[in-house]
Amino acid sequence: MLDHFGILAPIYERVIPVPDVSRLVQLLDLPAAGRLLDAGGGTGRVSCQLRPMVDDLVVTDVSPGMLAQAKIRNDLELSLAFAETLPFADGAFDRVLVVDALHHFCDQRRAVTDLLRVLKPGGTLVIEEPDLNSLRVKLVAIAEKLALMRSHFYYPAEIKAMAQAQGATARIETEGDITAWVVVNK
């Protein structure tokens, strides 16, 4: 299968703009003591902005190329790992973040289960995803299928239900018609 992210890694941040993390800071209640996991964090473009706001930050991704770009930053701890089988102890993180990556995971339901496993009781998981309720996002989903990316997009309500099936509480926040955040408390 084609390694899209390995190919894009060297130019990823020139093609995909670095996001404004102010909404994530609010949803994650940062700055705060503790550990933050950025699952599917790629080049660390989001994590590098959040790093000063936590005691420890770990970026996981399945793409060695993306993590090689993240390594250039020097201040991020990196781990080559699938979100469905994270190499961390139960309750290892106070906060967990997934930005625009859940639809790329192989098994989203297993990923949500494992993300909640590594989250401490009382911790917060924030999943930022393109909102499939938007026609523009539906077109992106089709384009990714045509590019053989194997993406699987879910509606925000479906992601919320995945978390609730694990006994967590969850809510959906939206802004405009492109992005949705599923905020999960364990």
Residue 144's domain is classified under what CATH number?
Answer: 3.40.50.150
Burial group, residue 68, by CB count within 10 angstroms (0-12, 13-18, 19+): middle
- What CA–CA distance (Å, rounded) separates 161 from 2? 31
Q: Which is more confidently placed, 142 or 83?
A: 83
* Assigned domain for 37 exists: yes
Task: Write out pLDDT tens, residues 123-155.
Answer: 999 999 999 988 888 887 777 777 666 889 999
Q: How many domains is the chain partitioned into structurally?
A: 1
d(CA 155, CA 16): 23
pLDDT in tens, 167-178: 999 999 997 779
Residue 16 lies in a domain: no
- Would you say residue 112 lies in a domain? yes
Band (9; pLDDT cuts 50, 70, 90): very low
Report yes or no on 77 lying in a domain.
yes
Lowest mean pLDDT, pick from 66-70, 88-92, 156-160: 66-70
What mean pLDDT, rounded, does the chain reach? 89
Domain membership of residue 15 (yes or no) is no
Residue percentage of the chain with pLDDT more than 70: 89
- State the residue range of the domain holding 137: 4-10+22-185
| pLDDT at 180 > cutoff 50 | yes
What pLDDT does 139 receive?
A: 82
**pLDDT tens-place string over residues 14-60:** 666 677 899 999 999 999 999 999 999 988 999 999 999 999 999 99
> Is 100 within the bounds of a domain?
yes
Bridge partners (DSSP) of residue 3 are none
